[in-house]
Amino acid sequence: MKTAVSIKNKRARFDYELIETYTAGIVLAGTEIKSIRASKARITDSFCEFNDNGELFIINMHIDPYANGGYVNHLPKASRKLLLQKRELRKLEKEVSQKGMAIVPLSLFINQSGRAKIEIALAKGKKNYDKRETLKDRENQRDLDRVKKQHNTR
């Protein structure tokens, strides 16, 4: 049985306030998809950027070289083109032109038909006090759940 590949960017939800999510395809070479299927990729430090032609690329996504690749292996940190519909690209480009907006990858996965997809989000950067507030809310929720659990067991 095949194991499902799901590579997540856990920092994105902490560092950014997510506004809207999209699922995009990725243009990959053969050795790149084989490395992704072996879960040998990282998207934690990556981000998305538009080029001069209005095409969306993911920058700084690390895909380890394929072990059996030989001389045809890929570059680990190459820019990779993302595939979205034209109206989605236009909307994202308009939103990103505003100050403080960014496109961040959330997760990389293989769909049912065997294609690599990446979930990206239009996001706004959080300030330090917002991050502290998020941590406080999470801690309060954890304490509340603990009290509820103790109350229900009695």
We report the CATH number of the domain holding residue 41 as: 2.40.280.10
Query: Is position 131 within any domain?
Result: no
What are φ and ψ of residue 53, in 5° steps? Answer: -90, 5
Q: What pLDDT score was predicted for residue 61? A: 87
Give the up-direction half-sphere exposure of residue 76: CA atoms within 13 A in the CB hemisphere: 9
pLDDT at 3: 53
In a domain, 149, yes or no: no
Question: What was the pLDDT predicted at 1?
Answer: 33
Residue 136 belongs to some domain of the structure: no
At residue 136, the pLDDT reads 85
Structural domain contains residue 1 = no
Q: Is residue 150 part of a domain?
A: no
Cβ within 8 Å of residue 107, ≥6 positions away: 6, 7, 8, 9, 43, 118, 119
- 117 within a domain of the structure (yes/no): yes
Domain count along the chain: 1
pLDDT at position 142, please?
Answer: 87
Q: Tens-digit pLDDT profile for the chain (154 aa)?
A: 345 777 888 888 878 888 889 999 998 888 888 888 888 888 888 888 888 888 889 888 888 887 777 777 777 788 888 888 999 988 888 888 888 788 899 988 888 888 889 999 988 877 777 778 878 888 888 888 888 888 877 6
Which residue range forms the structural domain that includes residue 90?
Answer: 6-126
Cβ(73)–Cβ(42) under 8 Å? no
**What's the whole-model pTM score?**
0.74
